[in-house]
Chains A and B, each alone.
Chain A
Amino acid sequence: MSVSSVAPQIVPKAAPTWRQSTSEPFVRIEQINKQFGDFTAVNNVSLDIYKNELFCLLGGSGSGKSTLLRMLAGFEKPTSGRILIDGVDMSNTPPWERPVNMMFQSYALFPHLSVAANVAFGLKREGLPSGEVQKRVADILDMVQLGHLAKRKPHMLSGGQRQRVALARSLVKRPKLLLLDEPLGALDKKLREETQFELMRLQEELGITFVVVTHDQEEAMTLATRIGVMNNGVIVQTAEPHEVYEYPNNRFVAEFIGNVNLFEGTVVGDERDSASIHCADTENLIHVDHGISCAPNQQVSVAIRPEKFRITREAPASLVNTTQGIVTEVAYMGSQSIYKVRLPSGKEVRITQPNVQRDADDRFTWDDHVYLAWDADSSVVLTS
């Protein structure tokens, strides 16, 4: 089965399955708890993952994401709750009977077996005739471009090659669900990017549902159809990448994904389609284009991403959604520049601006007095 030879199919773009309320989930996680002694690793998590998704579990270390993945693979038994894969309850199914394969962070290649024998391992356990085993192993090794290294032992391969062997070994059984634990963690930056796109291509071509665990938010943003952000054993937000970035539903998500400036303030006006927040740091009122539906005078945080600011030397016409300060740091990054601006209150705000012109002479520099402005629809109000 040479996947790369499949002609690209033109399919009318339907709404993704996870946006349709009628879709049947492929993996259903129902109120899963996992205790290790007194420690709650996973706390009452429910999650639906749909067919052909590339779902990313994103979180720091100790957030419970790996434990959740290991429960999907069957290495850990949930303390309570259950997991259904393709409609079948997996509670009493041991790992070797699950229609699931996993790619381990350490790759876990068998050091005493050659590349080909590593890949053939799973097929042989199915009792397939040796002719078919050989054919499928050869095909999948060609697909990951390692056909010429089939006889090597893992210790004779580079990191990137090992990663591809591990991927081939987990794909060769054609699992319904592929679990990937930090799949790109051990690769260098360039190889990472290549592999990211490779993974996305494979996932689309093979039509296997992927669940990826990662602590790297960039990786999650690039790869995922949807991201589940985990913290302290709880999924705090499940959404598509741009939603997680643009509409985080709490402070943890806003700060974990990308950079963000948080302004503490008090709600002073709350209508159905707009709200005003008084904030000591910005001096002027912050205006948002949606209602907050909260108690009057509630304390909130307003999150504004660094690239949402407009930075000028002239005072803007209106005072709403503006502030001013002194440039304290400038970092030229090539495609963009990062500025830190100190507001009169002492708070530092991080701002990124694309470098549209090659040699702009009026670029902002240290100690410039600047005005910052943003749109009412580019800030997010966080109440938790």
Chain B
Amino acid sequence: MKGNSWALKLSAGFGFLFLYAPIIALIVYSFNESKLVTVWGGWSIKWYVELFQNEQIMNAAWVSLKIAFISATLAAVLGTLAGFVLSRMGKFTGKTIMAGWVTAPLVMPEVITGLSLLLLFVAMESMFGWPAGRGTTTIVIAHTTFCLAYVAVVVQSRLASMDDTLEEAAMDLGAKPVSLFFLVTLPLIAPAILSGWLLSFTLSLDDLVIASFVSGPGNSTLPMVIFSKVRLGVTPEINALATLMILAVSIAVIAAIVIMRRQNRFQGP
């Protein structure tokens, strides 16, 4: 890529500016001494200190992390199974429909996903009495539903690019199906599952719309608390919180990318 023209460089610069300028502004203002968000009053970390003393936000953060962890884990398990079915099962009736189902949450507007899940939960409660009310459980189910799609796609593509003869070689060397799975297949797709897990974790942590539909009283997630606070006016505290969330999400996403890269280098075709 030598000799990039100035036009290309300029458009790259604009792109980065467009993407990252708001984030950088946010981060800078989170260290603002002044109580007024828009007035610069010198550097300080006092809003971070205050943030950690705000019980409401800390509770919400704990709820969010818990939900993100559980739904990412469930999504990793179910998504892996879905990925296996999609890439390994030969033609079966409804395969296209299933592929559609699995990937639908990727393209479905969140409002619709949230609304339909809410309707489902209400209907289920009146029919089976479960899930009783809305709260952590319903948010976990909802998040698992759309995170599963991401895991399934990542795992499916990993399985598709995997050399089939590896599994045949394992069988040939005496591995029965169960040990074949745990000794060969699982280690080979583990990076894909892990990066799927990380993606799910960040998606769940970020989600506001679906959670708003399916959560109940006393179970507000972090994005919900931020959103409700922002409606009353932005405080520097929120800037600090947002900065921490950006940090967490960036770490998870970068980790996911690094893991995928490594696997491609060592195990790619």
Contact = CB atoms under 8 A, between A and B. Distances in A.
A153 B175 CA distance: 21
A95 B188 contact: no
Interface stretch (A79-87, A106-114, A310-318, A329-337): A106-114
Interface string B68-101: 0000000000000000000000000000000000
Contacts of B166: 108, 110-111
Given A126-B174, A169-B173, A108 B165 contact: yes
A121 interface: yes
A178 B169 CA distance: 13
Contacts of A104: 165, 168-169
A73 B172 contact: yes
B165 A106 contact: yes
A153 B262 CA distance: 14
B17 interface: no
A102 interface: yes
**Highest count of chain B CB atoms <10 Å: which of A96, A101, A105, A169:** A96
Interface of B (DSSP majority class): helix
A353 to B, nearest CB: 45
A75 interface: yes
B172 A96 contact: yes
A102 B165 CA distance: 11
A95 B172 contact: yes
**Highest count of chain B CB atoms <10 Å: which of A100, A104, A125:** A125
Contacts of A96: 171-176
A105 B169 CA distance: 11
A122 B184 CA distance: 12
Interface string B173-189: 11110010001100110
Nearest to A156: B266
Contact of B172 (A101, A105, A153): A101
A185 interface: no
B171 A95 contact: yes
Interface string B37-54: 000000000000000000
B173 A112 contact: no
B267 to A, nearest CB: 4
A94 interface: yes
Contacts of B172: 73-75, 95-96, 100-102, 170
A173 B173 contact: yes
Contacts of A109: 169
A121 B168 contact: no
Contacts of B183: 121
B255 interface: no
A78 to B, nearest CB: 17
Contacts of B165: 104-106, 108
A112 B170 contact: no
B125 interface: no
Given A106-B165, A108-B163, A125 B173 contact: yes
Given A110-B184, A112-B267, A155-B266, A102 B169 contact: yes
Given A102-B169, A106-B165, A153 B266 contact: yes
Contacts of A121: 170, 173, 175, 183
Contacts of A169: 169, 173
B175 A125 contact: yes
B166 to A, nearest CB: 5
Interface in A36-75: 73-75
A112 B188 contact: yes
**Highest count of chain A CB atoms <10 Å: which of B169, B176, B179:** B169
Nearest to B188: A112
A95 B167 CA distance: 11
A260 B171 CA distance: 43
Interface in A127-181: 153, 155, 169-170, 173
Contacts of B184: 110
A96 B166 CA distance: 14
Nearest to B171: A95
Interface in B215-269: 266-267
Contacts of B171: 74-75, 94-96
A97 B166 CA distance: 17
B249 to A, nearest CB: 29
A110 B170 contact: yes
A320 to B, nearest CB: 56
Given A102-B172, A110-B184, 15 more contacts: A75-B171, A75-B172, A94-B171, A95-B168, A96-B173, A101-B172, A102-B168, A108-B166, A110-B170, A112-B267, A125-B174, A125-B175, A125-B179, A155-B267, A173-B173
8 contacts: A95-B168, A95-B172, A101-B172, A108-B163, A110-B184, A111-B188, A111-B266, A122-B173
Interface of A: 73-75, 94-97, 100-102, 104-106, 108-112, 121-122, 125-126, 153, 155, 169-170, 173
The 4 A-B pairs with the shortest beta carbon distances in the complex, nearest first, are: A122-B173, A125-B174, A108-B169, A108-B165
